[in-house]
Chains A and B, each alone.
Chain A
Amino acid sequence: MANSWRRERWESFRLLTPNWQSRLPGLRYQGPDPDGYMTTAEITEFIERSAKLSGAPVRTGTDVTSVRRAGDGYRVTTSRGEIACRTLVVASGACNLPAVPRFAGAVPASVEQLTPFDYREPGRLPEGGVLVVGASATGVQLAAELRRSGRPVVLSVGEHVRLPRTYRGRDVLWWMDASGVWDQRYDQVDDLTRARRLPSPQLVGTPERATLDLNALTSMGVELVGRWADVRDGRALFSGGLRNVFSLADLKMERLLDTFDEWAGTRGRDDELAPPERFAPTRVPESARWQLDLSGGEIRTIVWATGFRPDYGWLEVPVVDEKGRLRHDGGVVDGPGLYALGLPVLRRRRSTFINGIEDDAREVIAHLAGYLAVRR
């Protein structure tokens, strides 16, 4: 139970969502620190409590090795026998495997390569410089931790989502929640494909509630380079378009803060909040390097924080698209009696996070129950 939190996170990991937002059906945080952020031990415990509460039978340590259509339902083969069912909810997660670009194969063997699944803490890395690839939540958190350990750190930055940890005295995710951004429905989002692929925000959950944007990293001495485009002759080549990914993220953040202010103004909430703030634009390095010799010894380790992908290798039903994503409409998969939960923007923006499951599960399961009722 809670396998992904137990086995696939690094030691210092904490959720980036505040405790009061960690809600599961029928269960909410009741501890002493609603504004804090859970460690993996705390999330694991929280999920275990939820399982006990629901009373649903859980078969732990059981791998599903195949799901096939059989009769008017599905046959599920597991490492501990078979299960026949009329309906099936795919809740295997969106982040089963680290996504690593193909050119990783061209990196010289003298450089160690790690994914977030392998990374535990800085002390386990070889001495020397680290190239962290990807500047979303995982990348900025690992870059900061590695830099604090005294290592030279280069961070390769592609498109990213910049957010301050707190805004006008409140957690920025309080704003997302309260202002209704997270309630935006999947069928009302302008570009759903894009919304579902949106990288995680540059946030970290720490007791100090510190902002961990690129300016914070630059101040710590992390060197920023552009998106890693390719490897040639043992050299990493980075995009020269760094300024524009900064502009895109800065502009997007400003627009979001504008919508927050507008919401607070029209709802008459300005009095309970600190005054509006604006943040300095992302500082552009004097001259960002666009190549780095990987065999020169400067970089001893590469950490691929380039995102994750689902693994549907076991799903022998033709419902996965050419990009390896499940085809579904708000969790209703285009296979009879087949459903999905726990995917990004499944039914609303909130679905990407743990607390999205309450509403999503209710609606998807209502559909499932309707399906069964008609075919009884």
Chain B
Amino acid sequence: MTTVANGVNVQALLDAREVLKGAPEAAQFVWRASSTWRNGVHSTTTVKEFFGLGQEQTHRNEAVFDADHPEVFAAEDNGITPIEYLLVGLAACLTAGVASVAQNRGIQLRSVEATLEGTHDIRGILGADSDVRNGFNDIKVTFNIDADASRQDIEALVAQSQKRSAVFDALTNPTNVTVEVA
């Protein structure tokens, strides 16, 4: 396993798993984001601080994300559409999972590419048809992976990464969402 270098510190993750088994409080994280309306349907969202391991934590750098609608929606397209951020999150989460699982299983990766497609009937959000939902109908992720492993092992990597993915879970299972006015 020492010869495999996917750049994931699996030992640290395994150690953390052992420590957190006996310390569930430290495992409680809170992820945060704050957004500001710019103009039209354009907004910027910043992410910097989060809570975890019993204390406040800070990302090395603040990240700023612009969201807008495309010109076909008669908007200025200052950034990607909010629902596209879900694809960004899913792609990143599954890819991280593939790398971690590969490292843990001693599989050297050479390249991992994923293509995502979310089909979306926008009559839902436009209120044009009450039988159509607002969100995605289906999301399809296609991985293209080059690694020192059989096709079966690669399929197992991808399956395991879904099994342990936060975003996959958040998209496939319901989550309570509370929206309030402060």
Interface residue ranges, A against B (CB under 8 Å): 226-227, 229-230, 232, 237, 239-241, 244, 247-248, 251, 254-255
Contacts and interface: CB of A to CB of B under 8 A. Distances in A.
Nearest to A248: B159
21 contacts: A226-B172, A229-B174, A237-B174, A239-B172, A240-B171, A240-B172, A240-B173, A241-B169, A241-B172, A241-B173, A244-B159, A244-B162, A244-B163, A247-B155, A247-B158, A247-B159, A248-B160, A251-B156, A251-B159, A255-B152, A255-B156
Given A241-B162, A248-B159, A232 B172 contact: no
Contacts of B159: 244, 247-248, 251
Nearest to B156: A251
B152 A254 contact: yes
A240 B172 CA distance: 4
A contact patch SS: mixed
Contacts of B172: 226, 239-241
Interface of B: 152, 155-156, 158-160, 162-163, 168-169, 171-174
Q: Is the interface of B mostly helix, strand, loop or mixed?
A: helix
Contacts of B152: 251, 254-255
A106 to B, nearest CB: 12
A239 B173 contact: yes
Nearest to B137: A287
Contacts of A241: 162, 168-169, 172-173
Contacts of B158: 247
Given A230-B174, A241-B173, 10 more contacts: A229-B173, A230-B173, A232-B174, A237-B174, A239-B172, A248-B159, A248-B163, A251-B155, A251-B156, A254-B152
A248 B160 CA distance: 7
A43 to B, nearest CB: 35
Nearest to A322: B24
A229 B155 CA distance: 25
Contacts of A248: 159-160, 163
A251 B153 CA distance: 9
Contacts of A251: 152, 155-156, 159
Contacts of B171: 240
B96 to A, nearest CB: 16
A375 to B, nearest CB: 32
A254 B156 CA distance: 11
A324 to B, nearest CB: 16
A282 to B, nearest CB: 12
Question: Would you list the 9 A-B pairs with minimal beta carbon distance, nearest first?
Answer: A240-B172, A241-B172, A244-B162, A229-B173, A247-B159, A237-B174, A239-B172, A248-B159, A251-B156
A251 B163 CA distance: 13
Contacts of B168: 241, 244
